Structure 1
Amino acid sequence: MSKDNLLDALIEQTKLSKKQTDKQQKIVETAINMFAEKGYANTSTSEIAKAAGVAEGTIFRHYGTKDNLLLSVILPFLKEALPGMAENVFKEVVTENTLHFEDFLKGLFQNRIAFVMENKEIFQILVKELLYSEALRLELLPFFTEIVGKRVANMIDLFKERGEIMDLPTNAILKMVATLFGGYLVTTFVLTNNDDIDVEEETENLVRFVLEGIKK
C-alpha cells in the first residue's frame, strides 16, 4: 500500500495505543489488519470476532456496528495526525514551481483526489457519519477549518496580493472553492461510487471551472 493509505497508518497507531483494554486492543488491531488485507466492505464482524478470539457479541457491546468500530480508531487518529498530514500535503503542493494560483489548485486537487481514491471506504464512512451526526460535525469541521482552511486561506491571500484573484473576501472564496471540491469528492466517490477516472483530466476540469466558470 502507498504512504497515503490511512489503514497502514492506523495499524501503526493501534500498536502504540494504551487507552483500551487488552480485549478491545485485540479487536481493533485485528479489524484494521483485516480491513487492510481484505477491504472494509469484504470484512464481516463475525470474521473479526473469530480472528480476534472473541464472541461477535463482544464487538457489538463495545462498538455497536462495524462503522463505529472503525470510527473509534479514525477519529482520535485524525485529531492527532491531521496537523502533520496537512503540513506534508502543503510541502508537496507548494513548491518552487507553484508560481500561480492555478498551479496551487492543480497540485492541491490532484493530491487530494488521489488520496481519497486510496482511502475511498474510509472517506465514504466519514461522509455518511458527518451527514447524520450533528455532534460529529461540530467536533470535526471546526478542526478541519483550523488546520486546513487557514492554510488555503493564506494561499488565497497571497495570490490576491499578486493580483491573480478578484478582490472578494477570502472566506467567501475559500467557501466557494471548498464547496465545489467537496461536492465533487462526495458526488464522485460516495453518491456515484466511481473511481474509474483520469485524475489529471478531472483536476484540469475542476481548476478551469474555478478560474473561468462555464461561460463561453
Structure 2
Amino acid sequence: MTTRNLFNEILAVKSAQRTEKQQRIVEAAIRLFAEKGYSNTSTAEIAKAADVSEASIFKQYGTKDKLLLSLVVPYIKEMFPFEADETMNQVFSSAYSDFEAFLRALLKNRIAFITENRDIFLVLIKEIIYKEELKNELFPYIAEVAATRLTKIVELFQERDELADMPTRSILKLLFTVIGGFVASRFVLLNRESIDDEEVEDVVRMVLDGIRKLPAKNS
C-alpha cells in the first residue's frame, strides 16, 4: 500500500482566479509544507520563497491556517471524487472474501493516507469543529461522495447475506460515525502520530457487532 503526500497533489491543481503574486505564495507554501512539514514552516519563510513581503501573506490570507485552508478546500471540491474512486479501486482491487476483510483494508488505507498528511488533517478538522460555515460547506459534500461509492459495496455484502437487513443509509451512518470519530479522536484529541493494528482490529469488531447479520436462532 502506498501513501501519497497531499501537498504535492495540491501543487498540480492550478487556479485561474489567482493573481501572479497569490500563485507564487501558493506554490512556495506547498513546496515548503511538503519539504519541512506544515508546523515547521513559518510565514516568513513562505514570503521569502515567494519573493513577497510577509505582510502580503497576512493581507491575502490572514493566517497560516487560512492559507492552508485556501489550498485544501478547493482541492477537496475538485479532486475528492477522483481520490474516493482511487481509494475504492485500491481497497477493492482484490476480491475480499468477506466484509470484515474489506473494512480492515479500507481503515488501513485511510489511516496511512491521514498519517502521511497529518498536518493538513489536523488543521482541517480543528477548523471544521469551530467554523460552522466550513462544516456546512464540506461535510455534506464529503459524505455524499463517500456514500455514493460505499453504497454499492454495502449492498453487495448484503446480497451475500453478511450484513444485517437494515437500510443502507443506516449502515453508512454507523460507518461514518464510528470510523470518523475513531480517527478524529486519535489524531486530533489524543494527538497521536499513528494508529496501530490492534486499535484497527478493535474498530473492525465494534462496527461488525453493529451491522453483521446474526445467525438465525433455532426455534
TM-score normalised according to structure 1 size: 0.91
Q: Distance between the aligned counterparts of 1:125 and 1:88, measured in 2?
A: 24
Q: What residue is the counterpart of 1:191 in the other structure?
A: 189
- 1:137-196 CA-to-partner distances (Å, cap 9, x unmatched) read 221112112211121122112212221111122111111111111111111111111124
Q: What residue is the counterpart of 1:95 in the other structure?
A: 93
Work out the number of aligned pairs and report it: 209
Residue pairs, 1:110-129, within 5 angstroms:
110-129=108-127
Distance 1:20 1:127, change over 3 A: same
Contact 2:186 2:195 in 1 (8 A): no
Contact 2:3 2:112 in 1 (8 A): no
Q: What residue is the counterpart of 1:212 in the other structure?
A: 209
Letter in 2 for 1:170: T
Q: Distance between the aligned counterparts of 1:73 and 1:107, measured in 2?
A: 29
Percent of residue pairs identical: 48
Distance 1:76 1:93, change over 3 A: same
Could you list the runs of 5+ residues in structure 2 that have no partner in the other structure?
211-219
Q: What residue is the counterpart of 2:66 in the other structure?
A: 68
Q: What stretches of structure 1 move > 4 A for 4+ residues in a row?
A: none
By how many angstroms is 1:3 displaced? 5.2
1:158 aligned counterpart, secondary structure: helix
Q: Distance between the aligned counterparts of 1:98 and 1:196, measured in 2?
A: 25
By how many angstroms is 1:50 displaced? 2.0
C-alpha RMSD over aligned residues: 1.5
From 21, 24, 34, the equivalent of 1:23 is: 21
Q: Distance between the aligned counterparts of 1:145 and 1:7, measured in 2?
A: 22
Contact 2:3 2:113 in 1 (8 A): no
- 1:108-160 CA-to-partner distances (Å, cap 9, x unmatched) read 11100111101111001110111112211221112112211121122112212
Residue pairs, 1:128-167, within 5 angstroms:
128-167=126-165
TM-score normalised according to structure 2 size: 0.90
